[in-house]
């Protein structure tokens, strides 16, 4: 099996699995219980919290566990918008955000908020100039992803933070960092974010666990009410096995910067190998995060290619896993033509992938086009 769909989900790491098993066997207490079993569970949760905090240079008490990136995005957006609604109702985001950002924006728009959706250039990146001229005194929330999940295009989050500092005294900055966490070095202070979303299963952790970073000085109203867990922001008994699994996966990241250099080498090799086939066009430019490479094979529908590759034991995607086969709105917003969009494939790497696997992918694509050409 050659797995090249790591932006959809990743194989759980050995430490992730080990920590989950250890919890289920030995540390299955409720963190809110006052006896020793509860205390041990609480200590395990706080240990994982510390591991995540260290990786993004945050305080432990700024890390809140959620059920995943979608909940973190929803909580950040709705809570921030409602908390700031007395100061204004203008929100700035981009047209290429994940659906867990775009859908909350639609609801807020129906509720009377003004939503500005910035479009990217052909590179997939929103311009700093557009950000600076759009963020003004009426803006109360800016939500910009760190890395686009389909192309790997990195977005100018720091520029948004500077624009807020100059022009928008009431605005909060939220960043969906699901595709960036654990893949590029992150310092929340340098990034300038007030809120940031993280998902466990994108870094070889378990599904069903995520993180919302909330700057200490930011006050939000909770969306989930109950027993007051997670410092009253997210009630509900903490999923200790998943939290411990995330902690284990975070441990396994070792050196994020070193892993990134390895990915740059793999991505560069992949670009050359795929371009040498003579049938592939690249939709991710050279400045995109090397963990993601979006390509097109014009003349052949992505879904058909995807299933041909699957029969060869090679797994890629036709875009965001959440789109479930629909045409890529991200590539469309970049201004690509319909034939290129219809043949788009997303290749997404992990630290376990090799150049040899890319060579096999290239050969399989050549075989696919030969077979499909004959069938026409």
Q: Do residues 262 and 256 lie in contact, with contact meaning Cβ atoms separated by under 8 Å?
A: no
Distance set, CA 35 to CA 38, 93, 236, 239 (Å): 5, 46, 19, 18
Tell me, yes or no, if 23 is annotated catalytic. Answer: no
What is the full DSSP assignment across 172-189?
Answer: EEEEE-TTTTTTS---HH
Phi-psi domain of 222 (left: phi exceeds 0; alpha: psi -120 through 50; beta: other): beta
* Alpha-carbon span 217 to 220, nearest angstrom: 10
Distance set, CA 178 to CA 147, 155, 355, 374 (Å): 8, 13, 25, 41
Residue 219 tokens read as: 């006050």
- Catalytic choice (16, 23, 322, 356): 322
Residue 67 tokens read as: 């059920």
Residue 172 β-bridge partners: 141
Residue 232 tokens read as: 């009253």
Active site residues: 322
């Amino acid at each position: 099996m050659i797995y090249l769909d790591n932006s959809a989900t990743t194989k759980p790491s050995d430490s992730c699995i080990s920590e989950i098993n250890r919890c289920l066997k030995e540390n299955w207490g409720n963190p809110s219980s006052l006896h020793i079993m509860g205390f041990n569970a609480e200590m395990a949760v706080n240990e994982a919290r510390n591991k995540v905090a260290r990786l993004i240079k945050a305080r432990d008490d700024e890390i809140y566990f959620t059920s995943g990136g979608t909940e973190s995005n929803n909580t950040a957006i709705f809570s921030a918008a409602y908390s700031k609604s007395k100061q204004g109702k203008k929100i700035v985001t981009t047209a290429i955000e994940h659906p867990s950002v775009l859908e909350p924006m639609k609801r807020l728009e129906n509720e009377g908020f003004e939503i500005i959706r910035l479009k990217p250039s052909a590179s997939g990146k929103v311009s700093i100039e557009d950000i600076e001229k759009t963020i003004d005194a009426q803006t109360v929330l800016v939500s910009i992803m760190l890395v686009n999940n389909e192309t790997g295009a990195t977005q100018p989050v720091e520029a948004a933070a500077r624009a807020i500092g100059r022009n928008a005294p009431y605005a909060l900055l939220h960043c969906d960092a699901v595709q960036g966490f654990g893949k590029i070095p992150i310092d929340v202070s340098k990034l300038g974010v007030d809120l940031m979303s993280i998902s466990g299963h994108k870094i070889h952790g378990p599904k069903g666990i995520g993180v919302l970073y909330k700057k200490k000085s930011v006050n939000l109203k909770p969306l989930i009410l109950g027993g007051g867990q997670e410092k009253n922001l997210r009630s509900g008994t903490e999923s200790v096995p998943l939290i411990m699994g995330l902690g284990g996966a975070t441990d396994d990241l070792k050196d994020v910067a070193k892993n990134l250099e390895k990915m740059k080498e793999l991505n560069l090799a992949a670009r050359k190998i795929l371009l040498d086939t003579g049938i592939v066009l690249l939709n991710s430019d050279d400045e995109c995060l090397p963990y993601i490479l979006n390509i097109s094979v014009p003349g052949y529908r992505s879904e058909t290619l995807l299933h041909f590759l699957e029969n060869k034991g090679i797994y890629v995607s036709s875009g965001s896993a959440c789109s479930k086969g629909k045409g890529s709105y991200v590539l469309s917003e970049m201004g690509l033509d319909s034939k290129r969009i219809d043949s788009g494939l997303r290749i997404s790497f992990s630290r376990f992938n090799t150049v040899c696997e890319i060579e096999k992918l290239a050969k399989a694509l050549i075989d696919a086009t030969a077979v499909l050409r004959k069938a026409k």
